[in-house]
Amino acid sequence: MVPGRLTRALACLTILIAACADPAQPGGDAPQTGENPAGTPWELKSGTVDGDDLTPADDHPITLTITGDAASGTAACNGYFGTVSISGTEISFSGLGATEMACSPEQVMVAEQRYLGALPRVRAFSITTGLLTLTGDGVELVFGAIPPVPTSELTGTVWVLESLIDADSVSSVDGDRATLELYTDGSMLGSTGCRDLHGIYVVSGAEVTMPEMAAEGDCPADLFEQDSQVVSVLGDGFRARVEGDLLTVTSAGGLGLVYRADS
């Protein structure tokens, strides 16, 4: 588990996470050579800053989404946001801000600081076969397109929680039946096995976020960690993968949940 994040998530009966988009459908294919990088979620694959490697830490991705003149994403640990200007193959980022959560190991924060320091130095971009390269004085950042959220496969199904993922370990679920239901109007219902959940969800880039989520009820001590992990993963924003009747949702830090479609 990640005590700091999970304790914070459990302590809040209502989770409010900054988000301002509307429920959205998945994006299209990744841009091809010479196209604009806007509208496609990207994840950093490799980079160099002043000759030093910028390698994302395991389970702490660095992402970038451009919508209009706004740029946002996850910088290994914290969410970030700012303004972007694009003209031809020229691109610049300004007004960058970020949340202020600390993450471990130290490599995560080093990667984050290096990335956020590199973005304002970017001056040009190129796109070749689904790869976005940002370049500037002493900076090269190479991103790959992230598969869109499978919104149509997520909605209209009652998903029943089967397993909890914490890095490389998988544990079973206890308590009452824990579920997740996402509706096409952007609303959500669910449970942790001891508390009921309700709120709204938003598809933002390649992630699903819950800008408003309330958890109601009480949990016995033996379900504290399970409840905390469900609230943390859903509340912090997650990526979703549907394979057959299994739904796997994962968040930064290696935490995840595995659901099965209710038969």
**CB distance 238 to 259 below 8 Å:** no
Q: What confidence score (pLDDT) does residue 11 get?
A: 36
Enumerate residues 6+ apart whose C-beta is below 8 A from 168: 254
17 and 109 together in one domain: no
The closest of 251, 235, 182 to 16, measured between CA atoms, is 235
Q: Are residues 157 and 204 in the same domain?
A: yes
36, part of any domain: no
pLDDT at 200 (0 to 100):
96
The pLDDT assigned to 31 comes to 59
In the chain, how many domains are there?
Answer: 2
Give yes or no: residues 73 and 10 share one domain: no
CA distance 255 to 215: 19
239: Cα separation from own chain's centroid: 6
pLDDT on residue 10: 35
Q: Which tokens hold the place of 145?
A: 């397109």
Does pLDDT of 104 surpass 80? yes
The reported pLDDT for the residue numbered 254 is 81
Which residue's structure tokens are 């970038």? 64
Structure tokens at 254: 């290696």
pLDDT surpasses 50 at 21: no
Q: Which residues pair with 83 in a beta bridge?
A: 70, 94
CATH of the domain at 60: 2.40.128.270
Residue 252 has pLDDT above 80, yes or no: no
Instruction: Please report which confidence band the pLDDT of residue 32 belongs to, taking 50, 70 and 90 as the band edges.
Output: low
> Could you give the CA distance from residue 180 to residue 164 in angstroms, rounded to a whole number?
14
Residue range 179-203: average pLDDT? 96
Domain range holding 181?
A: 3-24+149-261
